[in-house]
Structure 1
Amino acid sequence: MNDDSENIRVGDSERSRALDELSTHFANGLIDINEFEERTGKAAIAKTRGDIRKLFLDLPRLDGTDPVAGEPHPNAPAPIRAETRAQEELDEVLTRGKKVQRFDGLIFAVAMILFFLGLFVFDWDYFWIVFPLAGVAAWGVRSVANFSDEDEEIFDELNESEEKERAERLRRAAERRRELGK
């Protein structure tokens, strides 16, 4: 970027877009409440493009084009590396759990469709068999994904915790937007 573009003045629409993006970063847990309040305050009074760009220098782009390394520095203290490994394991359980959850939704949606088709359209005598087959398919997905009962319990706890935290961050972001009048 050339220095001239940094000095171009911004209006309410640019400030509002910056506030929206900061709200998204906050809701996704990339910045804490103190950083969010500080940055939104600066965004609300930004005068130039440079003022707004400074708020996002250390944040990834929302479109995913700015990769963020998920590994700790090799010279980091051992507790930090261990904590990072533990977090990576939890993230991996969360990822596998979301995939299993999507497959479950698909399996049981197909089962319901087949159930009603068998019952009302094709007049099958054994239309009920789709439910045990759906259960076997769901078990198969868990076996292929190596998703144990313990993993499922951890996933449920993580997912519930993540949803509560996100809801709280969204609530705080909305309050902050109202405070700033944007």
Structure 2
Amino acid sequence: MTDDSTYRAGDADRSEALDRLGTYFADGFLTVHEFDERSGRAAGAQTHGELASLFDDLPGLSASNRAEPPAHRMGSEVAAQEELDDVLARNRKVQAVDAVIWSVTMIAFFLGLFVFHWNFFWVVFPVAALASWGARAVFQLSDEEEELAEELTQKEKEERAERLRLAAEKRRELGQ
């Protein structure tokens, strides 16, 4: 059986260890001095064993967690982030295609109704709905993925608005 503690640690492993130390510090398990000392050791760690030893006396770590290299846990997080980025990119593409479809639909509707006096000017709406549905099929965007992307986009907009509001308040406080 191979001892994982002798495997070389990479930047991602050291970064994950630093994040965990920050959590322990924020939760009050480490003093400022201990945090500084352990952070320095984490930044210079060359093996998973050196990283694991930083957490030996801290609660919440079982032997199996210490033996598992942090990179294995981070791999699934990275894959999840990449999958989320893919969903968000596909959602942006679908939104762009929808904007074009419905813009052309409205132009065709008004032209058909007022300029060309078509009897079946309303047909453009079912055609547009089918085209919009087809865009989702082409980009393989499910309803759940679209809802998630919309929810995340809305949350990002709200967070940005809050950041801007706080910046405006600080600017007013400083008299600028």
Query: For the superposition of Structure 1 and Structure 2, which TM-score range results when normalised by the shorter chain?
Result: 0.5 to 0.7
Structure 1 unaligned spans of 5+: 1-74
Change in CA separation of 1:179 and 1:82 when aligned onto 2, cut-off 3 Å: farther
TM-score, L = length of structure 2: 0.56
Partner of 1:95 in structure 2? 89
Change in CA separation of 1:178 and 1:83 when aligned onto 2, cut-off 3 Å: farther
148-157 or 167-176: which moved more? 167-176
Equivalents in 2 of 1:141, 1:113: separation in Å? 20
Partner of 1:112 in structure 2? 106
Which of 57, 71, 75 is the matching residue for 1:77? Answer: 71
Residue-by-residue CA offset, 1:129-160 (whole Å, 9 max, x unaligned): 00001001101111111111111111121111
Q: Give the deviation of 1:109 after TM superposition.
A: 0.9
Change in CA separation of 1:179 and 1:91 when aligned onto 2, cut-off 3 Å: farther
Change in CA separation of 1:91 and 1:175 when aligned onto 2, cut-off 3 Å: farther
TM-score, L = length of structure 1: 0.54
Partner of 2:41 in structure 1? none
Q: Output the aligned Cα RMSD.
A: 1.7
Equivalents in 2 of 1:178, 1:79: separation in Å? 45
Q: Give the deviation of 1:115 after TM superposition.
A: 0.3
Code of the aligned partner of 1:125: N
Equivalents in 2 of 1:136, 1:89: separation in Å? 27
Which of 121, 129, 152 is the matching residue for 1:158? Answer: 152
Equivalents in 2 of 1:90, 1:180: separation in Å? 39
Code of the aligned partner of 1:111: T
Equivalents in 2 of 1:101, 1:138: separation in Å? 9
Specify which structure has the higher proportion of helix: 2
Q: Which has the higher contact order (CA 8 A, sep 6+)?
A: 1
Equivalents in 1 of 2:169, 2:115: separation in Å? 52
The aligned runs of 1:163-182 (5 Å cut-off) are 163-182=157-176
